[in-house]
């Protein structure tokens, strides 16, 4: 059966509406706590995907990479997801009272939480969320809007501007992604602390950005667009995926190993909850899907440029990234892993909504940064 | 000496395209090895030359896995089976603690395989002089010419026909490169000289370091393990408030695996019964304890006249005397644990089981020195 273009749009819209009804029902039938836990998982999922893409764009400008010029438009377009999630983050501020224990006055009786009150209080938390969203919007404007403008005015000064701004963005990105990790994930259990969590979330963010870029690129290529992006360009993406899946595992295991060794009650309780019963199995699945499968699939040289292998690795990676967030956030509800109709509706809404948005931005303007004077060199890139 | 055989016949081309066009022709008409030399990497030339995929990836994978398994088995064996030691209350088989070493050994094996495998196996190093480097073609190749070499690779080359072949397929000039003369290089003098130089360098560096540190003591390395801050047994120390280097046991606690000995005086110890059976292993354990701790004063036969006594000045008890034979096991045991007169307590050195085993062994000595006829008969019967 041939699916026409209008049909896909209608199916996605129907899914989104169904998801919307589902999440409304979640709030009333399953409780606000479950609603907000799902909301935070899904908004972080799309946010990190967008931020990861913004990071890929900035990375090209920082190191002066030429190979990625022909495919830069893909992460540029996907990075608008980070902008889209700005309002979602503001909405998520409503979750503070129901999900974050430090907002309750009785928790301040604990001296450890009271000591963190200067950082963990609702006004400052909200201010940080707003500032982060503004910083990302500025970065998007400089790096992505500027690049889109260059298509028509062919102004080479954009390259210089981006090259000056991108290193600054690296610092901003490092700080804001740590704030995201500490605020939205770590402070769900305010007694727990892990210095490395910011790096861990960064590793997942970058991988999510890479996986989304790879998937979108392969899809566009299958539709006959971006034909000039050859196996050598794909090989580099595959190499990045391969390297950073190891990086993610390295950081994740480093965090676990130190806490396991020290075995201090204020640290290990976080893992104790997440290693027992279904959560332990989920962690095992995470190790397999986030590390073992992509690692061993991508070891051979040819696999890194093979569209089939890349597609499945990237898809598994995105699934694993979602599982990662789910495994970190959902246990605060004090229950085992559950994937029932509330989780399904949230998935429906956010995936369908995300896809509608991505389809929208993917069809705007040029597929390649045609105004970039270095594009020709990027097209000639061979390993 | 005869004229050295040809190493290769080199044809020079003006452009990469001409070179690429010639490769399939030449390869079709000769069995010899064909090699290309170009001033910059030419795309797709590897395929034309029929270069096979490098086996280095597979080698690295295999050696990496071997490295990981080696690290795993090393740690499983040492810390789990051969010398199990409790660390921070973790189980002996703690896979978490093994991961860092496994990671390091995987990387070590993999990188060494990659580096050495590439250099020694695949690049055929060490090769001190490649004949091409001394050819007339080389200076041109590093400038703007492209060369195709038909190499002998061990077998004799038909120089005439190959030269013609190269010229037919478009080579401007053809050069015959001679095989290298045998090296006079790693001779015995060279090797001994090199070793001597290394030894001289090591000695000189050692002396230089030694005198340098002695004359200019800027930073003194820790030479002796004695020169370090630490607590010595039986010595005063300012580290703890009470001024002792050693600690008392924590009050109202019991050391793991030991039973406290609560009998206060030898008078009451007579009622204690020896809990151990008189088996070979117990008697062997008793002999071990007796030889290590008791024999130095009481003598190997327990008769109280060892060589040390004269120097020491005291008179150790004769353990095989009538009085000792009549002494109950418990009272002997009490002296071992609590000490008596000048004899110190051995409660900290011997476990209670070892103490009781030593008592059994003392009984053996007593019986042996007062043996009856039937004892002799029973031993002879064996």
Residue B299 corresponds to which tokens in the numbers above?
């003598």
Q: How far apart are CA B153 and CA A362, in angstroms?
A: 57
pLDDT of residue B31: 81
d(C-alpha A322, C-alpha A302), whole Å: 28
Q: Which residues from chain A sit within 8 angstroms of residue B43, using beta carbons?
A: 382
Q: What is the DSSP string of A146-177?
A: HHHHHHHH--THHHHHHHHHHHHHHHHHHHHH
Chain B partners of A300 at a C-beta cutoff of 8 Å? 57
pLDDT band, residue A257 (cuts 50/70/90): very high
CA dihedral over A197, A203, A207, A209, signed as positive or negative: positive
The DSSP annotation for B314-373 comes to -----TTSHHHHHS-HHHHHHHHHH-BTTBPP-TTTS-HHHHHHHHHHHHHHHHHHT--H
Q: What is the pLDDT of residue B260?
A: 79
- Over 80: is that where the pLDDT of A334 sits? yes
Strands B173-178 and B33-37, bridge-based pairing: unpaired
Best residue of B42, B52, B88 to probe chain A, by most A CBs closer than 10 Å: B88
Helix (H) / strand (E) element for A314: namely helix A307-329
Percent of chain B exceeding pLDDT 90 equals 29
Hey, are the CB atoms on A382 and B43 less than 8 Å from each other?
A: yes
pLDDT averaged over chain B?
A: 86
At residue B159, the pLDDT reads 83
Omega before B126 cis (within 30°)?
Answer: yes
Write the residue in B57, B61, B88 that is nearest to A263 by C-beta. Answer: B88
List, in order, residues 6 or more apart from B170 with CB less than 8 Å away. B13, B18, B21, B22
Q: What is the DSSP letter of A116?
A: T
Q: Looking at mean pLDDT, say which of A106-110, A132-136, B122-126, B234-238 comes out highest.
A: A132-136
- Give the three-class secondary structure for B33: strand
B306 close to B300: Cβ distance less than 8 angstroms: yes
User: At B1, is the pLDDT very low, low, confident or very high (cuts 50, 70, 90)?
Assistant: very low
- Which residues of chain B are within 8 Å of residue A257 when distances are taken between CB atoms? 96-97, 99-100
Residue bearing tokens 């010398």: B83
CA-to-CA dists, residue B48 to B10, B29, B264, angstroms? 17, 14, 96
Span B353-372, mean pLDDT?
91
Task: Look at residue B76 in the predicted model and tell me its pLDDT.
Answer: 92
- Answer whether A296 touches B (CB < 8 Å): no
Residue A102 Cα distances to A114, A190, A331, angstroms: 9, 7, 17
**Between chains, do A263 and B43 touch, taking CB under 8 Å as contact?**
no
Most confident option among A44-53, A300-309, B317-326: A44-53
**Residue B174: what pLDDT?**
87
In our burial notation (b when 16+ CB lie closer than 10 A, e otherwise), range B327-360 reads bebbbbbbbbbbeeeebeebeeebebebbbbbbb
B179-228 pLDDT, tens per residue? 877 666 667 788 889 999 999 999 999 999 889 888 887 766 666 677 77
State whether B96 and A263 contact (CB < 8 Å): no
DSSP B90: B
Q: Which of A254, A258, A261 to mutate to test the interface with B (most CBs of B within 10 A)?
A: A261
**Residue B358 CB partners (closer than 8 Å, separation 6+):** B286, B289, B290, B293, B294, B336, B350
pLDDT in tens, B214-223: 888 776 666 6
Average pLDDT, chain A: 92
Of A145, A297, A310, the C-alpha closest to A212 is: A310
Long-range contacts of range B310-315, CB-CB < 8 Å, 24 or more positions apart? B314/B342
pLDDT exceeds cutoff 60 at A364: yes
Q: Do A257 and B96 touch (CB under 8 A)?
A: yes
Please determine, for residue B2, whether its predicted confidence score (pLDDT) is greater than 50. Answer: no
**Cβ A178 vs Cβ A135: under 8 Å:** no
As a whole number, mean pLDDT of residues B64-82 equals 93
* Contact list, A246 vs chain B (CB under 8 Å): none
Spell out the residues 6+ positions from residue A153 whose beta carbon is closer than 8 angstroms to its own: A371
Query: What are the CA-CA distances from residue A64 to residues A2, A159, A163, A164, A169 (Å)?
Result: 43, 9, 8, 11, 15
Distance CA A45, CA A66 (A): 29
Find out whether B14 and B136 touch, Cβ atoms under 8 Å: no
Per-residue pLDDT of A38-84, as tens digits, reads 999 999 999 999 999 999 999 999 999 999 999 999 999 999 999 99
Whether the model pTM is above 0.80 = no
Q: What is the mean pLDDT of residues B14-40?
A: 88
Between CA A144 and CA A149 the distance in angstroms is: 9
Please say if the pLDDT value at position A232 is more than 50. yes
Please check the confidence at residue A37 and state whether its pLDDT lies above 90: yes
Cα separation of B166 and B10, whole Å? 8
Averaged pLDDT for residues A265-282: 91
Burial class (CB in 10 A: 0-12, 13-18, 19+), A257: middle
**Which residues is B13 bridged to in the sheet?**
B146
Burial letters B255-273, b for 16+ CB under 10 A, else e: eeeeeeeebeebeebeebe
Of A260, A299, A382, the CB nearest to B96: A260
ipTM value of the model? 0.82
Among A253, A262, A296, A297, the strongest candidate for a mutation testing the B interface, having the largest count of B CBs within 10 A, is A253
Angstrom distance (rounded) from CA B380 to CA B382: 5
Nearest CA in chain B to A381: B43
Percent of chain B with pLDDT strictly greater than 70: 92
Distance from the first to the final alpha carbon of chain B: 84
> Packing angle between helix A341-362 and helix A5-25, nearest 10 degrees?
140
**A-to-B residue pairs, Cβ atoms closer than 8 angstroms:** 17
Nearest chain B alpha carbon to A382: B43
Nearest in space to A53 (alpha carbons), one of A266, A319, A318: A318
The alpha helices in B216-272, defined as continuous H runs, are: 266-269
B96·A256 Cβ contact <8 A: yes
Specify the higher pLDDT residue, A209 or A86: A209
Nearest CA in chain B to A296: B61
* Smallest CA–CA distance from B98 into chain A, residue: A257
User: What are the residues facing B12 on neighbouring strands?
Assistant: B147, B173
Q: Quick one: how far is CA A219 from the chain centroid?
A: 19
């Amino acid at each position: 059966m041939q699916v026409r273009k209008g049909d896909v749009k209608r199916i996605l819209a129907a899914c989104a509406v169904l998801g919307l009804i589902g999440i409304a029902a979640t709030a009333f039938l399953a409780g606000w706590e479950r609603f907000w836990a799902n909301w935070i998982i899904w908004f972080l999922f799309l946010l990190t995907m967008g931020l990861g893409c913004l990071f890929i764009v900035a990375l090209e400008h920082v190191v002066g990479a030429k190979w990625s010029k022909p495919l830069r438009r893909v992460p540029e377009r996907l990075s608008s997801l980070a902008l889209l999630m700005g309002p979602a983050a503001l909405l998520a501020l409503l979750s503070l009272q129901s999900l974050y224990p430090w907002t309750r006055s009785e928790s301040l009786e604990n001296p450890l939480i009271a000591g963190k009150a200067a950082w963990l209080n609702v006004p400052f938390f909200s201010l940080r969320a707003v500032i982060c969203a503004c910083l990302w919007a500025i970065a998007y404007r400089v790096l992505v809007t500027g690049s889109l403008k260059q298509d028509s005015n062919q102004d080479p000064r954009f390259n210089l501007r981006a090259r000056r701004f991108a290193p600054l963005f690296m610092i901003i990105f490092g700080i804001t992604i740590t704030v995201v990790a500490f605020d939205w994930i770590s402070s769900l259990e305010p007694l727990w602390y892990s210095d490395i969590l910011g790096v861990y979330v960064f590793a997942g963010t970058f991988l999510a950005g890479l996986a989304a870029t790879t998937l979108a690129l392969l899809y566009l290529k299958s539709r006959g667009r971006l034909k000039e992006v050859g196996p050598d360009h794909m090989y580099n993406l595959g190499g990045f995926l391969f390297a950073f899946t190891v990086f993610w595992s390295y950081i994740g295991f480093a965090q676990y190993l130190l806490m396991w060794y020290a075995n201090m009650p204020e640290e290990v309780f976080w893992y104790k909850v997440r290693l027992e019963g279904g959560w332990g199995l989920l962690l095992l699945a995470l190790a397999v899907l986030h590390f073992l499968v992509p690692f061993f699939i991508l070891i051979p040289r040819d696999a890194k440029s093979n569209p089939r292998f890349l597609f499945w690795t990237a898809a598994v990676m995105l699934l694993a990234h979602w599982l990662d967030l789910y495994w970190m956030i959902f246990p605060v509800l004090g229950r085992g892993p559950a994937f029932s109709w509330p989780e399904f509706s949230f998935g429906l809404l956010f995936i369908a909504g995300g896809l509608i948005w991505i389809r929208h931005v993917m069809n705007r303007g040029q597929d390649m940064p045609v105004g970039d004077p270095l594009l020709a060199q990027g097209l000639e890139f061979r390993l | 000496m005869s004229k050295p055989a040809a190493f290769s016949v080199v044809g020079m081309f003006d452009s990469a395209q001409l070179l690429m066009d010639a490769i399939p022709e030449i390869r079709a008409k000769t069995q010899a090895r064909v090699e290309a030399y170009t001033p910059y990497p030419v795309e797709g030339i590897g395929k034309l030359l029929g270069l096979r995929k490098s086996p280095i990836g597979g080698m690295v994978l295999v050696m990496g896995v071997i490295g990981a398994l080696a690290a795993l088995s090393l740690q499983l064996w040492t810390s789990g089976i051969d010398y199990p030691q409790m660390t921070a209350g973790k189980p002996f088989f703690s896979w978490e603690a093994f991961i860092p070493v496994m990671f390091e050994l995987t990387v070590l094996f993999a990188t060494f395989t990659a580096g050495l495998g590439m250099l020694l196996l695949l690049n055929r190093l060490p090769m001190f002089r490649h004949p091409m480097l001394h050819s007339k073609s080389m200076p041109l190749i590093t400038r703007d010419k492209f060369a195709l070499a038909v190499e002998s690779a061990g077998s004799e080359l038909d120089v005439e026909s190959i030269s013609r072949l190269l010229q037919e397929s478009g080579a401007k000039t053809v050069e015959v490169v001679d095989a290298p003369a045998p090296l006079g290089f790693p001779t015995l003098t060279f090797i001994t000289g090199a070793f001597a130089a290394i030894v001289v360098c090591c000695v000189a560096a050692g002396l230089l370091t030694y005198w340098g540190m002695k004359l200019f003591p800027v930073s003194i390395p820790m030479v002796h393990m004695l020169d370090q801050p630490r607590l010595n047994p039986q010595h005063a120390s300012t580290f703890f408030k009470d001024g002792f280097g050693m600690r008392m046991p924590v009050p109202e606690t019991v050391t793991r695996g030991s039973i406290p000995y609560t009998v206060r005086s030898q008078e009451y110890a007579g009622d204690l019964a020896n809990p151990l059976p008189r088996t070979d292993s117990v008697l062997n354990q008793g002999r071990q304890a007796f030889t290590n701790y008791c024999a130095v004063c009481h003598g190997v036969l327990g008769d109280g006249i060892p060589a040390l006594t004269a120097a020491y000045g005291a008179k150790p008890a004769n353990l095989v005397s009538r009085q000792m034979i009549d002494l109950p096991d418990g009272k002997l045991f009490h002296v071992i644990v609590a000490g008596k007169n000048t004899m110190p307590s051995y409660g900290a050195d011997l476990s209670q089981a070892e103490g009781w085993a030593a008592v059994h062994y003392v009984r053996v000595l007593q019986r042996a020195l007062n043996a009856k006829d039937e004892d002799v008969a029973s031993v002879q019967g064996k």
